[in-house]
Structure 1
Amino acid sequence: MDMATTSHREVPALSGTQFERGTPEGRSLRMMLSSAGRRVGLMRSFRQSAGLLGADLTMFACDLTPEWSPACIEADKASAAPPAESEEFIPAMLDICKREQIGLVVPTIDTELLAYSRARDQFSAINCHVAVADEPLVLMARDKLATALFLTEAGLRSPRTIAAEEFLSGEADLSLPLLAKPRHGSSSRGIMMAQNREDVLGLDKSEPYILQEYLHGREFTVSLYFDGEGQLQCAIPHERLRVRSGEVEKGVTVRDPSLSDMAWRLGKALHGARGAMCFQVRVDENGQPSIFEINARFGGGYPLAHQAGAQFARWMLEERLGLPRTANDDWQEGVLMLRFDDAVFV
C-alpha cells in the first residue's frame, strides 16, 4: 500500500535508479532505509527529493528477508539484517554502513529505534548520521503508559490510561468498557475492547497491557519535522478517513487551529526530537483534540504530507548534504490521498 494518487499538483516521479546524474560536485549521498519492508512510498519520496536538489542519491535498503521486501527490490542495493531487537543487529548495521560508506540511515519501525538511538555515536564515528531521536524520547514513545504520563505532565489532553494490573487490583477507578493495548505494541497489534473483567483477565500474559479510555470522534495523524537542533519546523495533520491494518488508506490534509496549537505545544515538550515523528489524535464532537499515541519515526501516511509540500525527506537530505535549509510550515490543505494495492515483480 505504498502507491498513492492525490488531488494535488503533479511532482516529477522518480523510481528505481532514474534520478538525475551529473550532479554538482559534493552533492552525492549513500543512504540506508532500515527495515524497509513495504515502504516504497517513503523511498520514492527521498529519490524525488534528491532529484529536485540535483543530488546523486544511492539508495540502500535492509530487511530480515530482503528478497521478500518490495522496498529492498526497488533499492539500488539491499542487504539482509538480523532482527532489530537482537544483539547482532547494531554490529551488523555498523558493518554494512562502514563497508558501503552509508552517510544517512533512516529507521522505519518502532522495534529498531531504541537500538539506533543508543548506538548513534558509533555511527557518527564512521561518518554516518542516523535520523533518530534521543534515547529517553524513544523510550517514552515506545511505552504507552510512559506516554500517557508524559502528556499529563506536559498539560496536553489525552485519555486516562492505566496498567491492566492496576485495574485488576482495584487501584484505579476507570470504568469498563476500556481499550486494551500492548504496552509496547505498534501497528494496531493486539488491540481489543475489554467489555468486562473476564476480558482483562484473558489478555495475553506474555506482554504487559494497558487499559485506556475509548475516545470517540474523528481521527487524525499529525506529522512533525524537527531539524538537527531539535527545533520543530513543520506540523501537518491529516484526517484518517479510512484505515486498513493500522495504516491510513484514505486521508486528507487539514489545517485546524486546535491541532496546530497542540502540535506546537507538544513540539516544545519533546526534548531530544530529531527528524520525522508523528502523533495520533481524536477530536470529539466539541472540537477538543486528545493525543493517544506518539511515534518517534516516519508515520505510514508520510507520502501524503510529502505530496502536500511538507517534504521531510528533502529537508533531511539538505541537512546531510550541507545545503541551504528550506524546512517550513507552508503546506497545502485539502490534499487527498487514495491508496491502492500495487506489486513489484522480480
Structure 2
Amino acid sequence: MTDNLKIILTACGCPGASTLIRMLKEVPDRDITIIGTDTDEEAVGRFLVDDFYQVPHGQSDEYIPAMLSIVETEEPDVLFPESTFEVHPLAEHREKFESLGTEVVVSDPEAIQTANNKFEMYQAISEQTDVDLPEYSLVQSHEEFRAAADELGYPDEPIVFKPPVGKGSRGVRIIDPEVDRRELLLEEKPNSLYIDMEEVEQIFADKPFPELLVMEYVGGEEETADSLCLRGDELLTSFKTVEDARWGVIVRGELVERPELLTMTQKILDAIPLSYCVNLQFIDGKLIEINPRVSTFIYQRDFLQAYLAIQLALDEVSNEDVRSYRDDIDYGRRMVRYMDQVFHTDGNRLL
C-alpha cells in the first residue's frame, strides 16, 4: 500500500458526495488526492476536491472519451463512480481504463444491467430466490396499464408506477383514490408523488405511452442495505432505517440490526452477482430496488465502506479483512442530512 492515493470521484455534486469527500480526506496515514467530475460546472464537490472537470452526461457518446482523457491526464489509481447513469458505461469500458493503470470500482456490466432495470431485476429475483417482492407488471399501453391496475385491486387498493430504469424517484407516482386532492394542494409541499388515473391518461393521451412498471403500493417501514460485496459474495452489510426522505434522498435514519434482511441480501447477491458498493431498498420486508453504486452511509471513523471498496479493488485488503469489520457496526448511530452552501467567484471558492 502506497502512502499516496489519487481518486477520480464522479458525480461529485450528488447528495452524498460532500460527506464522502470529507470522510475520504480524513482517512488517517494516507495522502488522498480527489479529482471530481460532474455534468454541472457548479457541482458542490468542485469546491471540496483537489481538482475538477466538467463532463458530459453518463449516457452521452462523449462521456467515455472525456473520462479516458481525464484519466490519461491525471493518472489516478482509482475511478470511483457515484451515478447510476455512469456505472454501466464505465463497466463496459473498464479494460480501457485498466490499460491506463486505473482500477474502476464497478460491478460487471451484466449484473449492473440487471440491477438497473427493475423489471429484469424482479424477474431474476423471482426466478432464482424466495425473496419477497411486490406484485408487478410491465406495461406498454393505456390498455395494459388499466388492466394491470385492475389486477392489483385498483381503485380499492393504491398502486405505484415507475419507469423500469430510472433514479432518484424520477417518474415514480402513486395512484390512490383515497388521497384528498384539496389537502395535497393546500397543505403539502409541491413535490408530492401522488397523481390520479385521469391525470395519467391526460398526460399520455396524445403522446406515445412509455414502458412502465406497475406495482402494488407497499407501505410500512423502509430500510436500506449498504452492502460491500465482490462478485456476489456479501462481505460487509449495514442496514439503516429511512425515517424521512426528500427528493428520493434519505434525510434521517439509524443503523439497525436486521438478520432476516441480511439473509435476503445474500440471496439477492447470489442471483445478481454485484461487486463493491451496492444499495438495496426494502419496504415492509419486500425488495423494492437495487442501486449498483455507492449510496448514503451512516459513517464511522473506525471504518469507511467506500474506502474499503477502493482498497478491495486495489488488492490492499482481502475479503476476510473486510468481513472482520462486521462486529464494529455501531448500531443505534443516527444521521440527519442538512443543507449547506459554498461561495465562489468563477469557480474559485471564497467561503
> Which TM bucket (shorter chain)?
0.7 to 0.9
Match of 2:265 in 1: 263
Q: 2:228 — aligned with what? A: 225
Deviation (angstroms), 1:206: 6.8
Other-structure match for 1:181: 162
Deviations 1:178-211 (A, max 9, x none): 1011221110112112347545534554742211
Q: Deviations over 1:51-90 (max 9, x none)?
A: 2xx2221100011133x11112110000111111111100
Q: Match for residue 282 of structure 1?
A: 283
Matching of residues 98-177 of structure 1 within 5 Å: 98-153=72-127, 154-165=129-140, 168-169=143-144, 172=148, 173-176=151-154, 177=158
Alignment pair present for 1:291 and 2:250: no
**What is the identity, as a one-letter code, of the residue corresponding to 1:246?**
G
Identity %: 23
Question: Does the 8 Å contact 1:107/1:297 carry over to 2?
Answer: yes
One-letter identity of the residue aligned with 1:274: S
CA distance in 2, matches of 1:222, 1:140: 18
Q: From 20, 26, 40, give the equivalent of 2:18.
A: 40
CA distance in 1, matches of 2:45, 2:37: 9
Which residue number in structure 2 is paired with residue 214 of structure 1?
A: 217
Q: Do the aligned partners of residues 56 and 317 (structure 1) sit closer, same or farther apart at CA in structure 2, a change above 3 Å counting?
A: farther
Residue 26 of structure 1: aligned partner: 2
Indicate conservation of the 8 Å contact 2:18/2:45, yes or no. Answer: yes
The 1-side partners of 2:322 and 2:141 are apart by 44
Q: Is 1:193–2:194 an aligned residue pair? A: no
TM-score by length of 2: 0.81
Give the Cα–Cα distance (whole angstroms) in 1 for the partners of residues 259 and 300 of structure 2: 21
Paired residue type of 1:30:
K
Change (3 A) 1:324 1:113: closer
**TM-fit CA distance, 1:247:** 0.7
- Residue aligning to 2:338: 340
Mapped pair 1:60 → 2:61 = no
**Following the alignment from structure 2 to structure 1, what is the Cα–Cα distance between the partners of residues 236 and 331?**
14
Pick closer, same or farther for the CA change 1:118–1:322 going to 2, 3 Å: closer
Q: What amino acid is aligned across from residue 305 of structure 2 in structure 1?
A: F
* Higher alpha-carbon deviation: 144-153 or 319-328: 319-328
Among candidates 66, 69, 74, match of residue 92 of structure 1: 66
Return closer, same or farther for 1:201/1:309 CA change in 2, 3 Å cut-off: farther
Query: 5+ residue gaps in structure 2?
Result: 177-195, 345-351
CA offsets 1:98-144 (integer angstroms, 9 cap, x no match): 11101111111111121111111111111111111111111112211
Q: Residues 211 and 230 of structure 1: is their aligned pair in 2 closer, same or farther, counting only changes over 3 Å?
A: closer
TM-align CA RMSD: 2.1
- Structure 1 gaps of 5+ residues are 1-24, 284-288
> Among 305, 315, 322, which residue is 1:312 paired with?
305
**Does the 8 Å CA contact 2:223/2:282 hold for their aligned counterparts?**
yes
**Is the 1:181–1:211 Cα contact (8 Å) retained in structure 2?**
yes
Letter in 2 for 1:134: D
8 Å CA contact 1:148–1:160 kept in 2: the answer is no
Structure 2 distance, partners of 1:324, 1:147, is 30
Deviations 1:6-61 (A, max 9, x none): xxxxxxxxxxxxxxxxxxx8322211011211411111222223x2xx22211000
3-state DSSP of counterpart to 1:236: strand
Say how many residue pairs are matched: 308
Higher relative contact order (CA 8 A, sep 6+): 1
